[in-house]
Structure 1
């Protein structure tokens, strides 16, 4: 039986340099999310819960125009970047 993890792309940074990049865990986090394991998805990649609404909002602005879309997109983008950097630092220090 093949698992979804068998088809995930390997981290090129980890393969070449031996350490994880800022995006390591995103694919596994999405897979966990699709399997309904929300807490494990958060532990794997905490920014997943800001990146998904960010992506959906950006995609929806191509179809619908929202009054405060740019402000929400900026806030979600800043929150995502901060979460990614903080979780990366925490992962490296532990």
Structure 2
């Protein structure tokens, strides 16, 4: 009998949600990554809309550490602003739709 392990078996629980019953700003990012690995790109975006901009941000930081990119500080600040807006917007949307 073969045992199949899923990514979902190793996900960390959200302590904020367990303790207070409210999603945090990071709720959904693990499941979004799991969906990406399964090839469910639209479902990953619906789960956590900032997933793709966070990946772009991480890749930019990684490549910038090896090759110095011109105007990297401006690009980093822009990516941070975009990510903060997406994460905060998604959080507010979750709060308002769960309250209704």
TM-score range, shorter chain: over 0.9
Q: Which runs of 5+ in 1 are unaligned?
A: none
1:81 aligned onto 2:84 = yes
| 1:9-62 residue CA offsets vs partner (Å, 9 max, x unmatched) | 111111111111000000100111111111000000000111001011111111
Distance 1:17 1:72 in 2: 36
Question: Aligned equivalents of 1:18 and 1:2: distance in 2?
Answer: 28
The structure whose Rg is larger is 2
Unaligned runs of 5+ residues in structure 2 are: none
RMSD: 0.9
Alpha-carbon distance between aligned partners in 2 of 1:17 and 1:29, rounded to the nearest angstrom? 22
Greater than 6 Å deviation, 4+ residue runs? none
